Amino acid sequence: MSGHAGQKSSLVWAVNLAAAFLVLLWTVPTLGLLVTSFRTPDQIATSGWWNAPFASEQTSFVRTGTAADQAQEGDLYLIAGNVLESGQSLRGWGTSSREPSAYKAGEAAQVKEGEITVAQDGSYRLTSPTPFEFTRGIRIFITAETQPDFTTRNYDNVIGAAGLGQAFLNTMTVTIPATVIPILIAAFAAYALAWMEFPGRALLVACVVGLLVVPLQLALIPLLKLHNDIGLGKGYLGIWLAHTGFGLPLAIYLLRNYMVGLPKEIIESARVDGASDFQIFRKIILPLSFPALASFAIFQFLWVWNDLLVATVFLGNRSSELVMTGVLRELLGSRGGNWEILAASAFVSIAVPLLVFFAMQKYLVRGLLSGSVK
């Protein structure tokens, strides 16, 4: 950015800071989601993802064995076990939730059932001179330091989920036609609205702009009722038409605005040479509009791939009909509290969209008219 005197503008630093802020705004949450996808449920529940490389302190409780587990040791009756899991070290323990670290390792605590001692390695001993009679174990609260633990079990659970392979095929079957069909229709419509003169063209453009603000949810029930009335019902054809209808207004609007900006001289020269509208569209407009077509293809692919609502309404909920988002939703459970599954599912589901984006991103930066005008 240069001023009139050839010097850099004083706003360069502001632009750089704004760009860095936007990058951080998107990168940091993504990094946090990636780290979370490799953590265990206990670590996710007790500390933030930024603490993942460090040891964390956790408070929990375990129950001792019952009277059925007792053994006699001399004149005493004994119940023994261990309160620690692998990778934990004891910081303190107690018999009350109010004071989970009231005792240090090796100290003894008196309870009505007898005497409890917890060693540094987590092994406990509950002893009594009389036989134990309780049928439910006594709670021992522990405060332990847990070392960082990263695991791939979350991805194993997601990738190994029943029906995910079929759901992947269903998603591809829905996404590819639902991306190609609206692009084909929108390209013809955009050319007609941009370069062909006919009555009512401005009104059609206004209608397209108006359809952009129609909420998708508003049209779901009427559209499904129409499909049932004409015999389409629920199936791939119905969901293709639904995604096509929902995506066409934006596609026509973007492509029409792009085509209007193409050099008028090229099109007029082609018409002087005797080219028809279809020849102009096929040999001139489409090659020059490829960056815009690729851009909308990326957006439409991402939208359809990540869709759950439209797939649920127009495809169904049977296991053989579920798309990937439907299967991943089932993995989360009814309460959606399995954050480790949610994080791993997010990265599994974005794998294909990322491949599509990186494969087509070169068209986003290609010059609009590179090589067409000299």
- Would you write out the chain's pLDDT as a tens digit for each of its 374 residues? 455 555 555 678 888 888 889 888 888 988 998 999 998 887 887 788 888 888 888 888 899 999 899 999 888 999 999 999 877 889 899 998 888 889 999 999 999 889 999 999 999 999 999 999 888 999 999 998 888 888 888 888 888 876 888 889 999 999 999 999 999 999 999 999 998 888 988 899 999 988 888 888 888 889 989 998 998 888 899 999 999 999 999 999 989 988 988 888 988 898 898 888 899 999 999 988 888 888 888 889 999 999 999 998 998 788 788 898 888 888 776 555 677 888 888 888 888 888 888 887 776 655 334 434 43
Same domain, yes or no, for 263 and 276? Answer: yes
CATH number of the domain encompassing residue 246: 1.10.3720.10
Same domain, yes or no, for 160 and 142? Answer: no
DSSP state of 152: S
Same domain, yes or no, for 70 and 105? Answer: yes
Buried b (16+ CB within 10 A) or exposed e, 69-98: ebeeeeebbbbbbebbeeebebbbbbbeee
Q: Give residue 342's pLDDT.
A: 83
Same domain, yes or no, for 323 and 220? Answer: yes
Same domain, yes or no, for 190 and 310? Answer: yes
Provide the residue range defining the domain that includes 31: 12-54
For 256-300, what is each residue's pLDDT tens digit? 988 988 888 988 898 898 888 899 999 999 988 888 888 888 889
How many residues would you count in the chain?
374
Q: Compute CA distances 221 → 126, 283, 326, whole Å.
A: 64, 41, 20
pTM above 0.75, yes or no: no
- Matching residue, tokens 């003169």: 197
Residues 60, 91: Cα–Cα separation, whole Å: 12
Same domain, yes or no, for 240 and 348? Answer: yes
